[in-house]
Structure 1
Amino acid sequence: MRGVFLRLTLLVLLGAAAVLGGVSTYGYLVSRNILLEKVEESARNQALATVNRIESVLSTLQKVPWSAAYALENAPLTPAEIRRLSRRLLADTPEVFGTAVAFEPYSFDPKQLYYSPYFYRHGDEIRETMLGGANYRYFYQDWYQLPRELGKPVWTEPYFDEGGGNILMTTFSVPFFREEHGERRFAGVVTVDVSLEWLRRMISEVRVLETGFAFLVSGSGVYVTHPDMSLVLNETIFTQAESVGDRQIREIGRDMIRGGTRFVEVTEPSTGRHGFLFYAPLPSNGWSLGVFYPRDELLADVRRMTLVTGGIGLAGFLVLAGLAAAIGRSIARPLRRLSVAAGEIAAGR
């Protein structure tokens, strides 16, 4: 009888444990999927809102040098007129750190190899300097060479402008042309410089749970902003992927510089933490914004709910075990008496 009692109790408890485990697992997976869907939507909204904020400034900045380039193409300006134009540009556009009008060799003055007045901010002042010389041959700078060779406006990769603004910056350059002997020839560029500090402040304002963060990479994958300042301008998303041997990060980097948009589970290379990454492009300059959500913080609510559910289920299981034991004993007791009575009858008692 004891064996029947134990088998019956064990069968009931195993069945209850299987149901409880199945319900808990299903509840966890459903809750996790619902949370991730909401997080993806929230991440998309948060990232795109930040992209739109940056784009609203960049698109405005892009229009600024066009008017100056148009003026330079349609009529030769005197040095005084170029100075007034540059000062007005800075005064009207607080997001611009500096602006230059850089001419081709000897094109502004047949006696001057270099002619590029540069105006920049210094505290509350607007200061002026002349670019060009043995230590700063601006013809070989990306901000000059790229629009010259491509014949179109260009955003540069982020750089430290030693000899010019002497800060971390990116430059938008617009070429201008002149008619010579019936041909349209490249004559120089008009530039606006944007301090990376402005972008860093805007990106740092993106709040992501407790320790998540946003970052920006350039069109070649260079870190433009990142909480780890040692990475900025010193590393690319590809060199980081190589250092940790993570093929997935390399593929993500390729998709980012191609202008892709995705929400993907990753191991963040600078911290080694597991989490989820949402990224989206900046249409103006081909850069990409990434927002990282740590997995442990993201799923904390699901884990708490699972622990509570598991605790309730365990309490229910223990109550069920007690009931099963009591029911088993109540069933086994009459059977035990019947067995004893049957034995006595068989013995002729």
Structure 2
Amino acid sequence: MKHSSQTFKKRKSISSTIARYVFAGTVVILVIILGLNYSSSKKHMTAVILEKAQHQAEEFAGSINQVFASAQRIPIVMASQLNQMEDWSSRDLSRMLESMLLENPDIFGATIAFEPGMYQGLPHMAPYAYRKDSVVASTLLFEGGNNYFMEDWYIIPVQLQEPYWSDPYYETSAGQEEVLMITYSVPFFTQQDGKRVVAGVTTVDISLRWINNLMESLAVYQTGYGFLITNSGRYVYHPDQHLRMNETTFSAMDEWIVSNQDLSAAEADTIRNQQFSVYRKMLAGESGLFMESFMFPDWKEKAWFAYVPIRSNHWSLALVYPRDEALAELRSLNTILVLVGLFSLFVLLGFVFIVTRVLTLPIVKLTRYTKSVAESGDYTRAVPELSSNDEIGELANSFSVMMHEIDQAQKTLEDRVKERTAQLVQTQEQLVQSEKMASLGQLTAGVAHEIKNPLNFINNFSELSVDLTKELNEALVPIDMKEDDRTYVNQILGDLSLN
């Protein structure tokens, strides 16, 4: 018995099916692994970057603080020496100042400013030593009508009777170019009438040009930067020179919010509150990390920044880290991992395809064999020999046994079919004979029925004729007729009765 080859649908190979499932499963696993790896790596790298930012900020703040701390000791030492001196000669004062400048190259200038009338009865006395080119020069601050005792660097420490850091200022005196300076003032004292009174103030002036050089040497990726603010929030250093000494952190933020028309009121309030909160912490001398800052001047790129205080003068330093640049290395690494993963995936896919092809080759042979048997109906065809000793080999042996049993069953079935066919022929002949007899019986019954109906009619009519004859005979009795006629009538009526 043959089967049409159309009964076999176009199949998908096991090797391609396994490869697809392995590919899909591996892709899912790869995506999960890469996602978890990126998430954990981002978390770890963020922690490392923030730790680095905090460490770098502390390192730079330490460098700045070291200069200021060293400068602080100088007027303190001078004030201590002046407190112990009973006679202040102008020569001693000049030597003290010049020696101090020669020993401390970070100091731009220094002065010993006396209270009016305190130095040998003179109304003013304030020798000032400063650097001019490569030499140390001297002058008197009160020359040219300079009322030094009305300056903040003098009045505030005298009134507080404690050291004082001035706000940064631009110095243009002494024939020098405009230089950003800061002054540290320490009051010194003397005894008058058994009381301790302020005799004057010793100061050191520090040029902040080195801060610009230090901050400009700061490397925070490509677009990152640092900024330095005073204890009032004023920018001492910022990459945008317009902000230096002109704006505070608060005013600069407000100006940006006002100028940015794209921000909604809610967004502006959120940014202002977040930034101002951090700025207040900076002014309070705190250190920390801020995760939701922005890059200046467009304030669109997200950034982190670390802030630390300058302990000596209560300033604050912040380093701004661009988040995208900081995580660029992680994204590059993740891209490499994705490419490596995809390459490995395709290598694995090819390997799986080859292995499954090798493993499924015996199955392919068995499939072709069963298809050919189904198309030809020849169950005596031998099963192809397979060198496999595994489950596939057992399957081939089972196929061989099954084909033998099918062949035997087919032969037995053919014998049974022949026997049944003979029985059916005999039964059919008997049925034909029975049908013939039944047809004859039906015909006979029909003929008998057709004959019986006229006979019944004749019989019924005969009985009626007899009755009518009797009635006619009785009706003729009283009628007078000839004897011959009556005899003839009686004869006719008798014939009718008999028939």
TM-score, normalised with respect to structure 2:
0.59
Q: Which moved more, 1:99-108 or 1:207-216?
A: 207-216
Q: Does 2:143 match 1:117?
A: no
CA distance in 2, matches of 1:156, 1:274: 35
How far residue 205 of structure 1 moved from its aligned partner, in angstroms, is 2.6
SS of match in other structure, 1:308: helix
Which stretch shifts more, 289-298 or 169-178?
A: 289-298
Residue 87 of structure 1 deviates from its aligned partner by: 0.9
Q: How far off its partner does 1:111 sit?
A: 4.8
Identical aligned pairs, as a percentage? Answer: 31
* Greater relative CO (CA pairs within 8 A, separation 6+): 1
Q: Bigger CA drift: 155-164 or 16-25?
A: 16-25
Report which of the two has the higher share of strand: 1
Within the alignment, does 1:296 sit opposite 2:324 as a pair?
A: yes
* 1:29–1:140 CA distance, 2 compared to 1 (3 A): farther
Contact 1:13 1:324 in 2 (8 A): no
Residue 231 of structure 1 aligns to a residue in which SS? coil
The equivalent position to 1:57 in structure 2, one of 18, 43, 67, is 67
Q: Quick one: which amino acid aligns to residue 85 of structure 1?
A: M
Of 251, 255, 277, the residue aligned with 2:277 is 251
Following superposition, the deviation at residue 263 of structure 1 comes to 2.2
Question: What is the match of residue 485 of structure 2?
Answer: none
Q: What is the deviation of 1:311?
A: 3.2
2:297 is the alignment partner of 1:270: yes
Letter in 2 for 1:45: H
Aligned residue number for residue 117 of structure 2? 106
Decide whether aligned partners of structure 1 residues 19 and 240 sit closer, same or farther in structure 2, where only a CA change above 3 A counts.
farther
Distance 1:147 1:270, change over 3 A: farther
8 Å contact 1:244–1:269 — kept in the other structure? Answer: no
Q: Which moved further from structure 2: 263-272 or 250-259?
A: 263-272
> Retained in 2: the 8 A contact 1:241–1:269?
no
Partner of 2:234: 222
Deviation of 1:213 after TM superposition, in Å, equals 2.3
Distance 2:114 2:172 in 1: 20
Unaligned runs of 5+ in 2: 1-8, 258-270, 371-499
Query: Is the counterpart of residue 167 in structure 1 residue 179 in structure 2?
Result: yes
Aligned counterpart, 2:286? 260
The 8 Å contact of residues 97 and 111 in structure 2, kept in 1 or not, is answered as: yes
Contact 1:240 1:270 in 2 (8 A): no
Alignment-derived partner of residue 39 in structure 2: 29
Which of 282, 295, 302 is 2:310 aligned to? 282
What do the CA deviations read for 1:33-73 (whole angstroms, capped 9, x no partner)?
11122222222322222222223322221111122212322
Give the aligned length.
342
Please give the per-residue CA displacement for 1:129-186, whole angstroms capped at 9, x wherever unaligned.
2223686432332211221222111111211134467521111110112222222222
- In the TM superposition, 1:68-83 aligns within 5 A as 68-74=78-84, 75-83=86-94
Q: Is the 8 A contact 1:98 1:120 kept in 2?
A: yes
1:148 match: 158
Deviates more, 1:74-83 or 1:267-276: 267-276
Q: What is the one-letter code of the residue matched to 1:84?
A: R
Could you tell me whether the CA contact under 8 Å between 1:159 and 1:168 is conserved in 2? Answer: yes
Letter in 2 for 1:259: G
Matched residue SS, 2:242: helix
Structure 1 55/111 Cα, relative in aligned 2: closer, same or farther at 3 Å?
A: closer
> Which one of 184, 202, 209 corresponds to residue 190 of structure 1?
202
C-alpha distance in 1 between matches for 2:72 and 2:145: 29
Partners in 1 of 2:24 and 2:36 — Cα distance?
A: 18
1:87 and 2:115 matched:
no
Contact 1:136 1:163 in 2 (8 A): no
1:47 maps to 2:88: no
Contact preservation (8 Å) 2:226, 2:319: yes
User: Structure 2 CA distance, aligned partners of 1:115 and 1:40?
Assistant: 52
Structure 1 residues 163 and 136 mapped into 2: Cα distance closer, same or farther (>3 Å)? farther
**Could you tell me how far apart the structure 1 residues matched to 2:339 and 2:326 are?**
22
Q: Say whether residues 1:126 and 2:126 are aligned partners.
A: no
| Alignment partner, residue 337 of structure 2 | 309
Higher helix content, 1 or 2: 2
**Which letter maps to 1:233?**
M
Q: Which amino acid aligns with 2:163?
A: P
Gaps of 5+ in 1: 339-349
Per-residue deviation, residues 214-248 of structure 1 (Å, max 9, x unmatched): 22211111111222222211122222222234322
CA offsets per residue over residues 183-207 of structure 1, 9 Å max, x none?
Answer: 2222221000110102222233332
The answer to whether 1:202 aligns with 2:229 is no
State the SS of the aligned residue for 2:219.
coil
| Aligned pair partner of 1:212 in 224, 244, 247 | 224
Amino acid at match of 1:225: Y
Q: CA 1:172–1:9 in 2, change beyond 3 Å: closer, same or farther?
A: same
Q: Which amino acid aligns with 2:165?
A: W
TM-score when normalising by structure 1? 0.82
Cα–Cα, structure 1 residues 123 and 133, in superposed 2: closer, same or farther, change >3 Å? closer
